[in-house]
Amino acid sequence: MGIIRKHDTTLIRIFKGSKTYKNITTDNFLVANITNDPLAFVRYTFSEVLPEDIQTIYSQEREFPVLKDAQSWVAFECINTKITPYSLVAELRPVMGHVNCCYPKAPNRGLNALIEATIHATRYKMHGEEKYLELINFYEDIINKCGGEREKEALRLLRTYL
Ligand SMILES: Cc1cc2nc3c(=O)[nH]c(=O)nc-3n(C[C@H](O)[C@H](O)[C@H](O)COP(=O)(O)O)c2cc1C
């Protein structure tokens, strides 16, 4: 999900229909897991997280799941949520966070292209428009040229969801 930082405010815009949308409207709570694993982007966009990939965090107020392999995660309370016909916009107030690992990693065009392709795939699933398939093909060329084996495997996985 795209978390937006505007001056001193952190926001998220969620389109209707996703589980995250439902969670925010019922619990006012969200956990952002930060990863640069190409396969995680595709897997967790299109399928349920497997129980063995989850760690449960117990805090004073609640328990919640995080991804074991996330580089870091932040749990947010969602406040001032505004509902529009197609989406909601919520302000995120951090309540807890954790850093599992941090290593310097150069930006990679293949990973960036995989992320773009995954976003277009979610739009294709939503609207079924051909133009999104063309955009995915465009990013596939970059993944094949600049990506590593994991980006290529993630693209193959992405194609199974189309
Ligand atoms: C990199 C990336 C960013 C995304 N950002 C958003 C976003 O900001 N808001 C949104 O509603 N969907 C976004 N999506 C689409 C959701 O990930 C997609 O709808 C997903 O199925 C939601 O999963 P859920 O049903 O478990 O909440 C994004 C997808 C990707 C790959």
Note the pLDDT tens digit of each residue in 21-37.
999 999 999 999 999 89
| 91 vs 48: CA distance, rounded Å | 25
Question: Do residues 88 and 116 both lie within one domain?
Answer: no
In terms of C-beta density within 10 A (0-12 exposed, 13-18 middle, 19 or more buried), how is residue 133 classed?
A: middle
Question: Do residues 74 and 94 both lie within one domain?
Answer: yes
Question: Do residues 86 and 121 both lie within one domain?
Answer: no
Please check whether residue 45 lies inside any domain of the structure. yes
Question: Do residues 40 and 67 both lie within one domain?
Answer: yes
pLDDT of residue 7: 87
Asked whether residue 104 carries a pLDDT value surpassing 70, the answer given is no
CATH number at residue 123: 1.20.58.290
Residue with tokens 């995989």: 114
Question: Do residues 86 and 113 both lie within one domain?
Answer: no
Give the residue numbers spanning the domain of 138.
109-160
Please check whether residue 148 lies inside any domain of the structure. yes
- Look at ligand 1, atom 17, and give the residue with the nearest C-alpha: 45
For 50-103, write each residue's pLDDT tens digit: 999 999 999 888 999 999 999 999 999 999 999 999 999 999 999 999 999 877
Question: How far is ligand 1, taken at its centre, from the CA of residue 57, in Å?
Answer: 23
- Look at ligand 1, atom 3, and give the residue with the nearest C-alpha: 1
pLDDT of residue 102: 77
For 106-148, write each residue's pLDDT tens digit: 678 999 999 999 999 999 999 999 999 999 999 999 999 999 9
pLDDT of residue 63: 95
Could you tell me the two tokens for 42?
A: 């595709």
Question: How far is ligand 1, taken at its centre, from the CA of residue 124, in Å?
Answer: 12
| 153 vs 100: CA distance, rounded Å | 25
- Is residue 17 classed as helix, strand or coil in its secondary structure? coil
Q: What angle do CA 155, 159, 162 make, to 5 degrees?
A: 140
Could you tell me the two tokens for 100?
A: 């599992």
Provide the domain count of the chain.
2
Element of type H or E holding 120: helix 109-127
Question: Do residues 87 and 140 both lie within one domain?
Answer: no
Question: Do residues 52 and 10 both lie within one domain?
Answer: yes
pLDDT of residue 55: 96
Question: Do residues 86 and 123 both lie within one domain?
Answer: no
Question: Do residues 12 and 91 both lie within one domain?
Answer: yes
Residues 6+ apart with CB under 8 A from 27: none
CATH number at residue 62: 2.30.110.10
Domain boundary among 99, 120, 147: 99
Phi, psi angle pair for 88, to nearest 5°: -125, 155
Tell me the HSE value of 148 on the side-chain side, using a 13 A CA sphere.
8
| 65 vs 29: CA distance, rounded Å | 12
Question: Do residues 94 and 144 both lie within one domain?
Answer: no
Contact 73, 84 (CB under 8 A): no
Please check whether residue 67 lies inside any domain of the structure. yes
pLDDT of residue 61: 84
Question: How far is ligand 1, taken at its centre, from the CA of residue 140, in Å?
Answer: 20
Please check whether residue 138 lies inside any domain of the structure. yes
Residues enclosing ligand 1, CB less than 6 A?
1-2, 13-15, 18-20, 41, 45, 115, 118-119, 122
Question: How far is ligand 1, taken at its centre, from the CA of residue 1, in Å?
Answer: 5
In terms of C-beta density within 10 A (0-12 exposed, 13-18 middle, 19 or more buried), how is residue 66 classed?
A: buried
Please check whether residue 104 lies inside any domain of the structure. no
- Look at ligand 1, atom 15, and give the residue with the nearest C-alpha: 122
